[in-house]
Amino acid sequence: MLAERLAAAGWLPADWAGSFAAVDRGAFVPARAWVDDEYGSPHPIDRDADPTRWRAAVYADVPIVTQLDDGATVWPATGGHATSSASQPRVVLEMLTALDVHPGHRVLEVGTGTGYNAALLAHRLGDDQVVTVEVDPTLAELARARLAAAGYKPMVICGDGAVGWPAGTPYHRVVSTAAVVAGHVPYPWVEQTRPGGLILTPWGTPFRNGGLLRLTVHDDGAATGRIVGDAAFMRLRQHRAAAPFGHAARLGDLLDASTTAEESTTTVRPLEVATGHAAFAIGVAIEGVQSGVFPDAEPGHVEVLLYDVRSESGAAARITPTADAAGRWPVRQHGPRRLWDEVETAYTWWALLGRPERTRYGVTVTPTRQQVWLDHPSNIVPTP
**Which residues contribute to the site for ligand SAM (CB under 6 A)?**
83-87, 110-111, 113-114, 116-117, 133-136, 139, 160-162, 177-178, 233-234, 236-238
Rounded to the nearest 5°, which phi and psi values hold at 267?
-100, 0
Q: From the centroid of its chain, how far is CA 239? A: 12
Closest CB to ligand SAM among residues 136, 344: 136
Q: How would you classify the pairing of strands 262-266 and 313-319?
A: unpaired
In the complex, least distance from residue 62 CB atom to ligand SAM, rounded to whole angstroms: 13
SS3 annotation, 10-75: CCCCHHHHHHHHHCCHHHCCCCEEEEECCCCCEEEEECCCCHHHHHHHHCCCCCEEEEEHHHCECC
87 catalytic? Reply is: yes
Annotated catalytic residue within 84, 87, 176, 291 = 87
- Give min distance, CB of 193 to ligand SAM, in A: 17
* Residue 10 Cβ vs ligand SAM, minimum distance, rounded to whole Å: 22
Q: How far is the CB of 384 from ligand SAM (least distance, A)?
A: 23
Q: Which is nearer to ligand SAM, 42 or 111 (CB)?
A: 111
Q: Give 114 or 192: the residue with its C-beta nearer to ligand SAM.
A: 114
The residue among 105 and 235 lying less far from ligand SAM, judged by its C-beta, is 235
The contacts of residue 380 (CB under 8 Å, 6+ apart) are 371, 372, 373
Q: How far is the CB of 71 from ligand SAM (least distance, A)?
A: 10
In Å, how far are 107, 173, 183, 211, 380 from 369, measured between CA atoms? 25, 22, 8, 20, 12
Choice between 87 and 193, CB closer to ligand SAM: 87
Nearer to ligand SAM, 122 or 315 (CB): 122
Q: How far is the CB of 44 from ligand SAM (least distance, A)?
A: 18
Question: Would you mind telling me the total number of residues written for the chain in this entry?
Answer: 384
Residues annotated as catalytic (active site), given as ranges: 87
